[in-house]
Amino acid sequence: MSTSNPTPENSIASEQTDHRITGPHFEPPTVANATTYWRCTACSRESIREQDLHREAFHAEKCEVADRC
């Protein structure tokens, strides 16, 4: 089993990991260079690298998720 594969957005595991960071979200195939991304639901910031959302500096000022990084 590979540990590098991300947990799908709608899986139980992703819901239990962090209730404020969601993903991976998949861009529609009509988007040029479509990719997957993760989103902070508290400050609405997004990144194609999940680890970015686990850094306090990534989040907006006063983001409640940033306090848990």
**Number of domains within the chain:** 1
In a domain, 10, yes or no: no
- Give the span between the Cα atoms of 15 and 9, in whole angstroms: 8
The long-range contacts involving 55-64, CB below 8 angstroms and separated by at least 24 positions, are 64/20
What is the pLDDT confidence band of residue 6, given thresholds at 50, 70 and 90? low
In a domain, 32, yes or no: yes
Burial of 34 (0-12, 13-18, 19+ CB in 10 A): exposed
| Amino acid 4: pLDDT | 53
For 35, the domain range is 21-68
Q: Is the peptide bond before 24 cis (omega within 30 degrees of 0)?
A: yes
In a domain, 12, yes or no: no
In a domain, 16, yes or no: no
Displacement of CA 62 from its chain's centroid (Å): 18
Full-model pTM: 0.63
| Amino acid 9: pLDDT | 54
pLDDT digits (tens, 9 = 90+) for 40-69: 999 999 999 999 999 999 999 989 888 888
